[in-house]
């Protein structure tokens, strides 16, 4: 089931199984640098409070292309754009929700 | 009278059963496994190859490390959330626990066992505590020549009651002499190289080597001749090559000195770098499965076991130090995070996070002997670390 919306922020094409994998990736592997609770580590905090009203598109670019000069790697060869968007939505919503 | 004997019998019974788990025993074959998702640790017995107890309530252990008291009774667990917990390995419980900062990366115990130093990301610096009471002894903010407060990485203990550490954003290495515990004497080395991300100290406590994330090469400080300053080594090993994205920071503290060599993970490359310890020149680049995270030498220094970064982290490779060649490839399962040799090196304990298992291998046949169920296991720390510098 695929759905396309005008905002481009739909994540309905992510299956439940993939969603569980992505959540695991966020907690465990992103958590290596950002902390399991995403309150920060080598990388900055990624909690809803820390993200605030930062533009999601900029965050998406960071996830996909990394941050040159920092340890943040580009994830575009491991994650699709849609999957990266799903992760961004999760972070802004809060992983505990 | 009968009531008296009954009461006495009950007391004896309670004493015997109540003390069963506390029967006299030593701690030399014990260790801790970090369960990173649940903020717990399990005490393991490497003689019987079993878990003895789970201890909960240690906070965020997403990046945790452990050092041991000189008598191997107490473990000091450093948590990501700034938690410092003193765990009693015999009574199987938390003895003391404090939250000492906002965000921490690890710590060290002084040569005499009296002081615990913790390296902090938030606020950047090192805090030093009384090992018995966990009372604060000294606070060292890591403000570099750039005026900024920096994250501290690569903190190790060195002989003569010193701690050595690196400032990630300030490109500096500091040596804190703790002879006067409440008045640290700090020597600062500037411009050591871009973004030191971790460090190791050689087993005799002489060479401190910090890995650099922002450029090729390593920063070396000879603590026998500190007046010579920090030397850059291996500055050109990856020159002109495109760096690969790094999905997990390599770790250097895994004691990778073997024979005449130091073996270190290349940053952003599928290689283990071999350095001649007599002149610190690059001897060889060993092609491996993916990006190495831990490059750990066996206690007899004959073999080096290597694990890898996400997403190729289901694999371990073994390098023979005599030939400097990869001689075996193991597939323990999804997300191999850490390896630990038993004290004299006959077995290797391996945490496989996403299989929720710790696997035990024969170090020489490399066959699996058994495995133990653990929840998201990461670091494995055996008590013999108590008697080694820099671990």
pLDDT digits (tens, 9 = 90+) for B250-260: 888 766 777 88
Identify all chain B residues contacting A33, using CB atoms and an 8 Å cutoff. 249
Q: How confident is the model at residue B359 (pLDDT cuts 50, 70, 90)?
A: very high
Residues of A in contact with B353 (CB under 8 A): 28
Residues B168, B195 contacting (CB under 8 angstroms): yes
Question: For residue A86, which of A11, A2, A28 has the smallest C-alpha distance?
Answer: A11
HSE, CB side, 13 Å, CA atoms: give it for residue B213. 28
Q: DSSP code of B101?
A: S
- What contacts A8, CB < 8 A, 6 or more positions away? A85
Least confident of B11-15, B168-172, B177-181: B11-15
Q: Cβ contact (<8 Å) for B62 and A71?
A: no
**Residue bearing tokens 């945490």:** B351
Least confident of A92-96, B184-188, B283-287, B329-333: A92-96
Average pLDDT over residues B88-108: 95
The secondary element (H helix, E strand) that includes residue B271 is strand B271-276
Given this model, what pLDDT does residue B340 score?
97
**Is the overall model pTM greater than 0.95, yes or no?**
no
End-to-end CA gap in chain B: 59
- When pLDDT is averaged across residues B14-22 and rounded to a whole number, the result is 52
Across the A:B interface, residue pairs with CB atoms under 8 Å apart total 63
Mutation choice for A interface testing from B195, B245, B356 by most A CBs within 10 A: B245
Chain position carrying tokens 């871009």: B194
Q: What is the pLDDT at residue B235? A: 86
Q: Residue A13: its pLDDT value, please?
A: 78
């Amino acid at each position: 089931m695929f759905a396309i919306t005008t905002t481009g922020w739909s994540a309905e094409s992510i299956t439940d199984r993939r969603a569980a994998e992505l959540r695991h990736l966020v907690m465990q592997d992103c958590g290596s640098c950002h902390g399991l609770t995403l309150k920060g580590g080598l990388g900055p905090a990624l909690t809803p409070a820390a993200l605030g009203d930062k533009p999601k598109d900029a965050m998406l670019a960071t996830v996909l292309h990394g941050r040159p000069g920092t340890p943040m790697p580009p994830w575009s060869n491991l994650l699709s754009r849609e999957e990266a968007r799903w992760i961004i939505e999760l972070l802004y919503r809060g992983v505990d929700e | 009278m009968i009531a008296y004997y009954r009461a006495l019998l009950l007391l004896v019974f309670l004493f015997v059963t109540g003390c069963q788990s506390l029967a006299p025993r030593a701690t030399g074959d014990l260790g801790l496994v970090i369960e990173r998702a649940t903020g717990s640790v399990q005490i393991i017995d490497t003689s019987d190859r079993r878990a003895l107890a789970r201890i909960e309530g240690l906070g965020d252990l997403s990046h945790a490390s452990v050092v041991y008291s000189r008598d191997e009774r107490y473990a000091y667990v450093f948590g990501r959330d700034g938690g410092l917990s003193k765990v009693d390995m015999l009574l199987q419980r938390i003895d003391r626990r404090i939250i000492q900062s906002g965000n921490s990366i690890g710590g060290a115990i002084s040569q005499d066992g009296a002081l615990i130093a913790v390296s902090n990301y938030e606020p950047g610096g090192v805090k030093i505590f009384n090992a018995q009471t966990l009372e604060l002894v000294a606070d060292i903010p890591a403000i570099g020549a750039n005026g900024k407060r920096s994250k501290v990485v690569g903190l190790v203990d060195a002989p003569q009651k010193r701690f050595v550490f690196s400032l990630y954003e300030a490109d500096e290495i500091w040596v804190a002499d703790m002879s006067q515990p409440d008045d640290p004497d700090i020597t600062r080395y500037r411009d050591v190289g871009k973004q030191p991300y971790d460090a190791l100290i050689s087993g005799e406590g002489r060479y401190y080597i910090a890995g650099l994330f922002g450029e090729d090469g390593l920063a070396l400080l000879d603590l026998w001749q500190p007046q010579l300053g920090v030397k850059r080594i291996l500055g050109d090993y990856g020159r002109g090559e495109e760096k690969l994205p790094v999905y997990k920071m390599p770790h250097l503290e895994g004691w990778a000195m073997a024979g005449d060599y130091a073996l270190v993970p290349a940053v952003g490359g599928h290689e283990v770098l071999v350095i001649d310890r007599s002149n610190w020149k690059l001897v060889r680049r060993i092609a491996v499965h993916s990006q190495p995270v831990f490059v750990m030498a066996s206690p007899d220094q004959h073999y080096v076991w290597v694990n890898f970064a996400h997403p190729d982290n289901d694999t371990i490779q073994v390098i023979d130090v005599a030939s400097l060649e990869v001689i075996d490839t193991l597939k323990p399962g999804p997300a191999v995070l850490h390896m630990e040799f038993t004290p004299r090196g006959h077995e290797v304990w391996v945490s496989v996070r996403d299989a929720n298992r710790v696997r035990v291998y024969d170090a020489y046949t490399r066959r699996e002997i058994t495995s133990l169920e653990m929840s998201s296991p990461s670091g494995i720390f055996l008590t013999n670390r108590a008697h080694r510098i820099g671990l």
